[in-house]
Structure formats: C-alpha cells, structure tokens
Chain A
Amino acid sequence: MGDRARRAILIGLLLTAQAGLIVYAGTTPGAVREGGLLAALPAVGEYDLLAEDELAVQADVIAVDPLVAVITTPQSRERVRIRGVAASVAAGDRIRLYGERQADGTIRARSVILVASERLWYTYAVSAVALCWVAYRAVRGWRVDRAAAGLSPRRQDEGPDA
C-alpha cells in the first residue's frame, strides 16, 4: 500500500475519531461538570447547568433597569432577568456570568464579566486580520506538490525531515 493510500485511510480514521468526539460531547453535557463546581465551557461560550440552580452562561443584554438578557442554550433561547450585576451595562453588551437561578425564574449573579459590544467587533476584526495573515503566509510558504501528493515548502533548499 502506497503512502497516498495509507494517508487517505489515516485521514479517514482521524476525521471519524474527531466526529466521534463531537457527537460524544453532544451526548454528555454532564461529563464536563465533573467536580460539581463549574461551567462546562466558560472559555468557549457553551452552556451548561452546574447544579440544580447553578449556571455559568453567556448572555446578550437586551434591556437594562431591570437587566434582561437572552441566553442561548443548545436547547432554547431564553429571556431572563438578571439581578446582582453591579457593572454598568448597556443593551447590546454581552455578559458572561456565574450565578444561580432563583425560585422566581430570575438569575442572581455571583460573578460577572462584561464584554462591551464594540470590543466584540474589535475581536472579530483583528481575528479576521490574523486569518488573512496566516493564509497569506501559508500560500507564500507552501505549495501543492503533485509528485509528493501533498504540500511542500516553496523553498527549494528545504531538506527532508531529520
């Protein structure tokens, strides 16, 4: 079996494994609650209930005084009233909060991180610049090598792997 066939099989296996992880993660939201303390994915903005009444979510503010935000979960979009947010927020801002759900359906925040909407756009803009930079360097540094059936450096003086 040639290198090309072996690679095709390996890529298939790797992608299957990746798909398996993706489906598994979708089936076991509770798996990332181990330890009983924390949000599933605070860094990537996913949503998970922590305990019966605890949650760590990302929410988009739609009104202030009283503070109302929309929480988008894998299951639903929910409008909730949030109490205990000391920071000054405006409609359109995004907040990430850790708190607990009250009996009346509101959420009492224990910890809040405010993300102003203009900062979100800044992040998107510079990230787009970064993607363009990496893409430019990739095209400039690498080429499709039909003989090698893969990518090779454009520099001809590049030796093989040690």
Chain B
Amino acid sequence: MPDLLTHTLVGFTIGRGLSWRMDWVGPHHVTALMIGAVVPDLVKLKLLVPSAQLAESLGMPFSWLPLHTIGGAALSVLVIGCLVGRRHRRRAVWMLATGALSHLALDGLLRTPTGRGSPVFWPLTAYQPPTPGLYLSTDIWPAGIALAIAGIVLYADRRLISE
C-alpha cells in the first residue's frame, strides 16, 4: 500500500469532488469515504499480531490476508455500515465502499518484486493482476502529490462555497 496518509488524502479528494456533483454529500460522508479508504489496511493488524502467532495461539489456521481483498473489505464495510443508523446507512455504505475501492485501486499500482499485485479477488480467484509499478509503499512523493491535489480541491471547494 502507499502510506495511509496518501490513501486518506485521496479519499478526501474523491469525497470533496463528489460533493460538487451530488448535493447530498456532506463532510461526514467525506469522512465515511476516508474511513473506507483505511478499511483494507486492517490487514496491518498483522504488524501488531502476526498471523503465525495467532494461528499458534488459537490452534487453527489464520491469515489476515482476506482483509486486503475485495471480498474481505466488502465484509468490513458492511459491518461498519451496520453501525450507522438506518436513515443514513445506505449512503454511508456507498461512501465506505468507494473509499475501500480507491484503496485497493491505488495498491494495484504498487511496484512489487514480481511485477504482480496482490490477489485482490481471492478467494474467487488467486489471479494477481500485473502492476505498472508506479511507486513503493515507502515513497514520499505519492503523499506529496496527494496532498497538493487535496489542497487544490479544498481551495476550489471553498471558492465554490464563497461564490
């Protein structure tokens, strides 16, 4: 993944951009989209508790991997969506899902040693799409570009509001 800041900045930018086209998109929807952009990185729980350690403790197979696939992210999004009150649930779920998809799409551009991305469609298929290898997860410039674009969008947004 690019760093989480890049993901949330991109989520912020998409959310603000959507608010230009859709009147109902408010700041809390933008926040929902940003939360969605974080959701696939629940897989980073493995940094705190490695899969192998949990497998040993639980005595059963365990892998955090599915959290970083479309299916796993969809389940996470739906769980979070269920926590939202009924009146606002549908829109919240759409925003969460959009954020999660933006995350997986950005990760699909990462440079990997094999030239292939992660198997995002697992368990339907283990196919790993080729990646153009645009950046590393530890590169600084993606966050810089995302920050600049978010700044431009925020500036334009405030100009629109003031007009």
Indicate with 1 or 0, residue by residue over B49-74, a CB within 8 angstroms of chain A CB atoms.
01110010000111111111101100
Q: Is A22 an interface residue (CB 8 A)?
A: yes
Q: Within 8 Å CB of B112, what residues of A?
A: 39, 42-43, 96, 113
Interface of A, secondary structure class, is mixed
**Would you call B138 and A46 a contact (CB within 8 A)?**
no
Q: Shortest CB–CB separation between residue A60 and chain B, in angstroms? A: 13
**Would you call B123 and A24 a contact (CB within 8 A)?**
yes
CA distance A137 to B15 in the complex (A): 13
Q: When A and B form their complex, which 3 residue pairs have the shortest distance between CB atoms, in order from nearest?
A: A26-B61, A148-B85, A141-B28
Q: Is A73 an interface residue (CB 8 A)?
A: yes
**Would you call A158 and B38 a contact (CB within 8 A)?**
no
Q: Pick the contact of A131 from B4, B61, B118, B123 — CB < 8 Å?
A: B4
Count of chain A to chain B residue pairs whose CB atoms are closer than 8 Å in the complex: 225
The A-contacting residues of B in range 90-112, CB under 8 angstroms, are 90-92, 107, 110-112
CA distance A116 to B137 in the complex (A): 12
Take A23-B62, A31-B126 as given contacts and tell me if A130 and B8 are in contact as well, using a CB distance cutoff of 8 Å. Answer: yes
Take A39-B114, A142-B28 as given contacts and tell me if A151 and B8 are in contact as well, using a CB distance cutoff of 8 Å. Answer: no
A: number of interface residues (CB 8 Å):
75
Central interface residue in A130, A152, A158, by most chain B CB within 10 Å: A130
B: number of interface residues (CB 8 Å):
73
Q: Shortest CB–CB separation between residue A123 and chain B, in angstroms? A: 5
**Would you call B86 and A41 a contact (CB within 8 A)?**
no
**Would you call A127 and B86 a contact (CB within 8 A)?**
no
Q: Is B155 an interface residue (CB 8 A)?
A: no
Central interface residue in B7, B26, B71, by most chain A CB within 10 Å: B26
The A-contacting residues of B in range 68-85, CB under 8 angstroms, are 68-69, 71-72, 75-76, 78-79, 82-85
Q: Is A134 an interface residue (CB 8 A)?
A: yes
Q: Shortest CB–CB separation between residue B54 and chain A, in angstroms? A: 9
Q: Is A53 an interface residue (CB 8 A)?
A: no
Q: Is A91 an interface residue (CB 8 A)?
A: no
Indicate with 1 or 0, residue by residue over A112-126, a CB within 8 angstroms of chain B CB atoms.
110110011011001
Q: Pick the contact of A160 from B61, B62, B87, B117 — CB < 8 Å?
A: B87
